[in-house]
A = this chain, B = another copy of it.
């Protein structure tokens, strides 16, 4: 590995001059700068980021904490992360993957310190507020996506307005008996979505159609199936269904179809998330899109900002959703 010392020798300069030339300092003559640059390039010199980090006290690396249990394999994570990466990469930052379980006995807070990251993005892992506070104690900028509790330093999709939009869309198609398949009303997101449905129903003076008492913690297909069954048995067939997740919408579709109902002819159904499979299932699922790309970009910009300005707090950011119209909803005859 060729070091800055070799370059100094090759160019008959001191290491400090070489360093300044390489880093575009103003106080080195244009001529020697060019000369040194060329020599370095010819010699195949690549700086050593580790050495730079040590002296600059800056690693140009951002830690990304994610839930091992859920893995990388949810679209939420991968789409957000892609946009996040693109944003921070422009400023020369790299991503270090940090699992929420620890490496060598360190939890992710200590691990972040150990690896000297400049900031931390916690994706869907904010379960423990304590960790976030410890990050801040360590003067580490930290940012959370979709935490389970109302939190500072967080970026959310506007779930409340999202469900309102969904119900509004169904209403506009002429539906009045609109059922809701809830998530887990004890979490922040679940509560917001639930509240949105209730408010909507009240505003339009409709009758709520819901499987009271259910807590769909996983937003899964199976839960959607069962919730739809409960609703059907208690209330009969609604005109439309709004589900708090795409997977639950899909589960509901399954139940309805296996009972001989056709979608969207007999009943309209709308999901929430806009996962990839919305395009693949039949009928293609109309849904509320969470703007993952925007969330990732904003997260990147915000975190860079915090790093550069050494701020540790910012107010929550809400990202708007939008309806993606496909084939699972239809105007009421």
Contacts and interface: CB of A to CB of B under 8 A. Distances in A.
A277 B250 CA distance: 12
A179 interface: no
A234 to B, nearest CB: 27
A82 interface: yes
A51 to B, nearest CB: 6
A61 B115 CA distance: 10
Interface stretch (A15-23, A91-99, A143-151, A315-323): A91-99
Contact of A50 (B53, B77, B92): B53
A321 B281 CA distance: 26
B114 A85 contact: no
Contacts of A78: 71-73, 77-78
B71 A73 contact: no
Contacts of A68: 82, 86
Q: Is the interface of A mostly helix, strand, loop or mixed?
A: mixed
A115 B78 CA distance: 23
A104 interface: yes
A116 interface: yes
Contact of A72 (B50, B51, B72, B98): B72
Contacts of A54: 48, 50-51, 54
Contacts of A77: 72, 78
A280 interface: yes
Contact of A114 (B47, B95, B276): B47
The complex is assembled from copies of this chain, and their number is 2
Interface residues of A, number: 47
A195 to B, nearest CB: 30
Contact of A89 (B47, B73, B99, B250): B99
Nearest to A247: B280
A153 interface: no
Contacts of A266: none
Contacts of A71: 78-79, 82
Contacts of A48: 54, 114, 116
Interface in A25-75: 46-51, 53-54, 59, 61, 68, 71-73, 75
Interface of A: 1, 46-51, 53-54, 59, 61, 68, 71-73, 75, 77-79, 81-82, 85-86, 89, 92-99, 103-104, 106, 110, 113-116, 221, 250, 276-277, 280-282
A-B pairs, 6 with minimum CB distance: A72-B78, A73-B78, A95-B97, A46-B113, A71-B82, A50-B53
7 contacts: A1-B113, A49-B114, A50-B54, A71-B82, A78-B78, A92-B103, A96-B96
